Chains A and B, each alone.
Chain A
Amino acid sequence: MENDVILSVKGLSKSFGKFYALRDVSVDVKKGEITALIGPNGAGKTTFYNVITGKYRPTTGRVVFEGRDITSLPAHKVARLGLCRSFQITNIFQENTVEENILASLVAYHRKGLSLFKGLGSYRALREEAHRILEMLGLAAHAQEVAKNLAYGDKRLVEIGIALASHPKMIMLDEPTAGMTPEETERMVKMVQKLFQKTGITFLITEHDMKVVFSIAHKILVLHQGCLLAQGSPQEIRNNPRVREAYLGGSLDA
């Protein structure tokens, strides 16, 4: 039972002054599942991500990843343990090429960053791996393009590529379809499902598009005003009266 849980959060709170962005949140994320974290704007989703991945220190509570206490670890150490994230706003290396975006992450994972004088070109294995990742994301043709010139949807894929390249055990995606057209959204959903099937990586996704959530998530967590309102299977959440009342309203029927 314990072995199934990859990320365990206990009594997590985060306050900014008097304001509690998170209040006593306890959840478990199971290995090999896609878990969705939903909640209205300002429910504390991004804060939840930031506290877990080491951007903020929690006010109280513990975060355990794969049996290791990672509470208050700095971001780069959390990433090293295999817990990676993407960002709500496109957060890539704009002036670098697409390939370099992926390579940066690979360099970090393979701990080649302190190789000071050997040219990047001579790391054939890294470049092949970068190529494989770009191929998987359907971006291979854009490898030498400067990232800022990509289409919006492609940029979001680069974002996921950066996370993938650090060989994560678990990826936390923060609104991967934010600002996308319906076509782009569909492409992204398919991509996430494809990645999940191919790699078996555990996913935690925040998402505002309920269609997306209910089509891909195995389990759903609902945040409301910093508190965990409910958790369960999509069916359970759909039928949960509190969730319906507090947040979902009638939208699920539409």
Chain B
Amino acid sequence: MEKGKSLKLAALLAGALFLFIFPHFAGVFAVLLLTEILIFALFALSFNLLFGYTGLLSFGHAAFFGLGGYAMAFMVQHFHLSMLPALAISTIVAALGAAIIGFFSIRRDEIYFAMLTLGFGMMIFTLVHQWRSLTGGSDGITGFEVPVLDLLVKKLSLFSPWAYYYFSLVVCLLGAILLWRLTLSPFGLILRSMRENPERVSFVGIDIKLYRWIAFTAAGLMAGVAGALFALYDRMASPSMVHWTMSAKPVLMAILGGPRVFLGPALGALIFYLLEHFITQYTQSWMIFLGAILVPIVIFFPQGVLGTLIAWAQRLIRREGHGE
């Protein structure tokens, strides 16, 4: 047990170290791509708090991604805030949005929950699309620059892709660690139990609505962080951030990677982007390939890529164990 724990810690540290030294070997484009992957990994992880851990398939998660992004763009464009206050405000805006939408959505289950979140998500989409004076309509908010990171003792420019990569890396790692702690806590246990059997949970004295609401708000908050990072990465907040097709991305990533393993959705984000990256090098119709890859993965990897790999590995280890 103790040995296993230290092994895990070592592996995690090695992974983090890898992410930190990666830019020293890679070109600008790889750094940019990895920044985007990190941001989407956080987005997918936040989605999976609902999907993999609470059993709620949200089809409007992009609403909070977008709220975070728009709030960030707005703060930077109009108030020229520095990074941390702007990020804090965007996070709060997304969390508030999630609290309000969550209050209604968590009243329904399964496909109805999915449809309600889709509905609310698209209402937010309409809002940003139509309120041209505030949001720039379908063009979105564009033309701002990445704010400086004001650390009181020192002001850092995040203009270069490398600087922004490191900033995103730190924020995404912190966000992922918070989410991870959440899943390991008693709260996380209750969420997982609700995923298995919400009725039973209410019969041991848990107000499932309250817990779902908190999970929904937490997931929305973290999606807001990812969205704020993404708006700066893209130098724009546009309605496509809020559209249902954006909500479909974390769903895809989570199921690709494996919703029952904490880092599964992050791996899903990685697979998604690398697939897209490689396929679009050879052909413009990458959707047909994505579909052609998606279909067998769904059929043959029922626990997602990471989940299935782990199951295989465990079987292998068990067999070895029996051999001894």
- In the complex the two chains form, is B200's CB within 8 Å of A93's CB? yes
A110-148 residues at the B interface, CB under 8 angstroms: 112-121, 123, 126
- In the complex the two chains form, is A91's CB within 8 Å of B202's CB? no
A99 to chain B, nearest CB (A): 10
Residue A166, interface by CB 8 Å: yes
Residue A45, interface by CB 8 Å: no
Residue A107, interface by CB 8 Å: yes
- In the complex the two chains form, is A109's CB within 8 Å of B204's CB? yes
- In the complex the two chains form, is A91's CB within 8 Å of B197's CB? yes
Main secondary structure of the interface of B (DSSP, over half): helix
B187-242 residues at the A interface, CB under 8 angstroms: 187-190, 192-193, 195-197, 199-208, 211, 214, 218
Q: Name the CB-closest residue of B to A111.
A: B205
* Measured CA separation A180–B69 after assembly (Å): 57
* Measured CA separation A95–B200 after assembly (Å): 14
B46 to chain A, nearest CB (A): 15
- In the complex the two chains form, is B181's CB within 8 Å of A119's CB? yes
- In the complex the two chains form, is A120's CB within 8 Å of B202's CB? no
**Chain B residues, CB < 8 A from A123:** 186
A135 to chain B, nearest CB (A): 20
**Chain A residues, CB < 8 A from B201:** 104, 108
* Measured CA separation A77–B208 after assembly (Å): 11
Instruction: Pick the most buried of A93, A107, A113: most chain B CB atoms within 10 A of its CB.
Output: A113
Q: Name the CB-closest residue of A to B188.
A: A120
* Total inter-chain residue pairs, C-beta < 8 Å: 107
Residue A169, interface by CB 8 Å: no
B157-205 residues at the A interface, CB under 8 angstroms: 178, 181-182, 184-190, 192-193, 195-197, 199-205
* Measured CA separation A96–B196 after assembly (Å): 8
Residue A221, interface by CB 8 Å: no
- In the complex the two chains form, is B184's CB within 8 Å of A120's CB? yes
**Chain B residues, CB < 8 A from A33:** none
- In the complex the two chains form, is A76's CB within 8 Å of B214's CB? no
- In the complex the two chains form, is A107's CB within 8 Å of B203's CB? no
- In the complex the two chains form, is B203's CB within 8 Å of A75's CB? yes
- In the complex the two chains form, is B193's CB within 8 Å of A119's CB? no
Residue A56, interface by CB 8 Å: no
Q: Name the CB-closest residue of B to A80.
A: B205
Number of B positions contacting A (CB below 8 A) = 29
- In the complex the two chains form, is B190's CB within 8 Å of A107's CB? yes
Choice from A76, A101, A109, A119 contacting B185 with Cβ under 8 Å: A119
Residue A53, interface by CB 8 Å: yes
* Measured CA separation A85–B204 after assembly (Å): 8
**Chain B residues, CB < 8 A from A165:** 204
Q: Name the CB-closest residue of A to B181.
A: A117
Residue A94, interface by CB 8 Å: yes
- In the complex the two chains form, is B182's CB within 8 Å of A116's CB? yes
Residue A175, interface by CB 8 Å: no
B95 to chain A, nearest CB (A): 14
- In the complex the two chains form, is B205's CB within 8 Å of A108's CB? yes
A159 to chain B, nearest CB (A): 9
Q: Name the CB-closest residue of B to A75.
A: B202
Q: Name the CB-closest residue of B to A107.
A: B186
What 0/1 pattern do residues 83 to 107 of A give for CB contact below 8 A with B?
0110100011111100011011101
**Chain B residues, CB < 8 A from A104:** 189-190, 193, 201, 204
Instruction: Pick the most buried of B182, B202, B207, B211: most chain A CB atoms within 10 A of its CB.
Output: B202
**Chain B residues, CB < 8 A from A76:** 202-208
* Measured CA separation A91–B179 after assembly (Å): 28
* Measured CA separation A105–B214 after assembly (Å): 19
Q: Name the CB-closest residue of B to A93.
A: B196
- In the complex the two chains form, is B214's CB within 8 Å of A92's CB? no
* Measured CA separation A105–B205 after assembly (Å): 8
* Measured CA separation A50–B184 after assembly (Å): 32
Residue A67, interface by CB 8 Å: no
- In the complex the two chains form, is B186's CB within 8 Å of A79's CB? no
Instruction: Pick the most buried of B181, B184, B197, B207: most chain A CB atoms within 10 A of its CB.
Output: B197
* Measured CA separation A112–B188 after assembly (Å): 11
Q: Name the CB-closest residue of A to B211.
A: A113
Choice from A103, A113, A118 contacting B206 with Cβ under 8 Å: A113
**Chain B residues, CB < 8 A from A116:** 181-182, 185, 187, 218
For the complex of A and B, 8 pairs with smallest distance between CB atoms? A79-B205, A93-B196, A104-B193, A105-B204, A75-B202, A107-B186, A80-B205, A112-B186
Mind listing 28 A-B residue pairs with CB under 8 Å? A55-B199, A76-B205, A77-B205, A79-B203, A79-B204, A85-B203, A92-B196, A92-B200, A93-B192, A93-B193, A95-B195, A100-B192, A108-B201, A108-B204, A108-B205, A108-B206, A113-B187, A113-B206, A114-B187, A116-B218, A117-B182, A118-B181, A119-B181, A120-B188, A121-B184, A162-B200, A166-B204, A166-B205
Interface residues of A (CB under 8 A from B): 53, 55, 74-77, 79-80, 84-85, 87, 91-96, 100-101, 103-105, 107-109, 112-121, 123, 126, 162-163, 165-166
Interface residues of B (CB under 8 A from A): 178, 181-182, 184-190, 192-193, 195-197, 199-208, 211, 214, 218, 260
